A and B are shown apart, each in its own frame.
Chain A
Amino acid sequence: MKYNIKNNNLDELITLAQKGDIEALEEIIRRQQKNVFATLYYLDAKPDEIMDLTQEILFKVAKNIKKLKNPRTFKSWLNQIIINQFYDTLRKKQKTIKKVCLDNDEEKIKFEIPDFASNPYQRVIDKELERAIKNSIHKLPDPFKIAIIMRELQGMSYEEIAKATNCNIGTVKSRIARARLKLQEYLKPYMS
């Protein structure tokens, strides 16, 4: 009987992928790609690099999935890969000389994700809030930014965040609280 891979939960898919099931691996990537992309977007990766970085991270996941010992730790493992890759690119960026694009074609570089909110007025408000949230998150120092993204975007527990960022739960608690305090301050005009 042919089973439908889409009905399996993540743990089962990981176990299958570790046994060499390509379809399961493909499904894992299909489910996680948006997550990785969104995380990088809020981590303030360069807009034109997000897609490449996402692909690189997913490739690392696919290549190393057999090394993951416990499927339940997949989330923190994946996020560790994201964080490492993000810091790696930051480091590389610091080393390379800044290039200036001579083509004055800013439209191409501009990066927009379509927004399908129902009415135009609401759409404008949502867009404005989204921009404010994105800019506020970008303003946070890296450790706070990572902690709040892992919590709110990825829905990770404090313990998982501690594992992925290599620190203790107390630190995670403080970082999330600090990030929230700062975001509340930045977003004050938008919050009722």
Chain B
Amino acid sequence: MLKGNLTCEDISRLIIPYIDDKLSANKRNRVALHLRNCPFCMEKYRIIKSLFDSIKNKHLERAKKFRQYRLLSAYCDNEVSQYTKDKIESSLALSCDLVQRTLKINSLRKALNQTFEAKFANLELGLEKKVIERLKNDNIIYKIKNFFNN
């Protein structure tokens, strides 16, 4: 429980929860009051706040970029609605960067598909006979078991 005026030491402890908005209304007001009256703590607050904001912005930027990529990836798979498709196609006409990203996704898909196809094109496994044989044996065993159980 904090009593009386807050000291600079209290502020350094409370500054992060204050930025995160995790303090009660009473505490928040007292921290704000201290910051208004103490240039040293205010400077500290400004530096930390700008650092936090830049990290937050970076995260938001990254999330936005991923959302865009996710949409492009689904577009390349033809898994978007007609409306989204039209919207993406009109954006593609305006942005070289977007076109390049789409091309990269498509060339990855092409490389994967070609490799998969080439890798297994000549593979002969011949498992069908073995599986059917096993299924028949399994059925016989089942019938014998049933016969003895009855």
Contacts and interface: CB of A to CB of B under 8 A. Distances in A.
Interface in B106-146: 107-109, 111-113, 115-116, 118-123, 125, 127-132, 134-135, 138
Contacts of A90: none
A42 to B, nearest CB: 8
Contact of A158 (B79, B109, B121, B132): B79
Contact of B131 (A37, A38, A55, A180): A55
Interface in A21-67: 22, 25-27, 29-30, 33-34, 37-38, 42, 51, 54-55, 58-59, 62-63
Contacts of A116: 121-122
A38 B123 CA distance: 10
Contact of B109 (A115, A152, A157): A152
B135 A62 contact: yes
Contacts of B121: 116
B108 A177 contact: no
Interface residues of B, number: 33
B104 interface: yes
Interface in B49-75: 66, 69-70, 73-74
Contacts of A187: 108, 111
Given A22-B132, A62-B132, A115-B119, A184 B108 contact: yes
A191 B127 contact: no
Given A30-B128, A58-B127, A157-B79, A177 B74 contact: yes
A176 B74 CA distance: 8
Q: Name the interface size band of chain A.
A: 35 or more
B89 interface: no
Interface string A68-83: 0000000000000000
Nearest to B70: A177
A62 B73 CA distance: 35
A183 B108 contact: yes
A139 interface: no
Given A55-B134, A177-B74, A184-B104, 5 more contacts: A55-B127, A115-B119, A157-B79, A191-B108, A192-B107
Interface of B: 66, 69-70, 73-74, 77, 79, 104-105, 107-109, 111-113, 115-116, 118-123, 125, 127-132, 134-135, 138
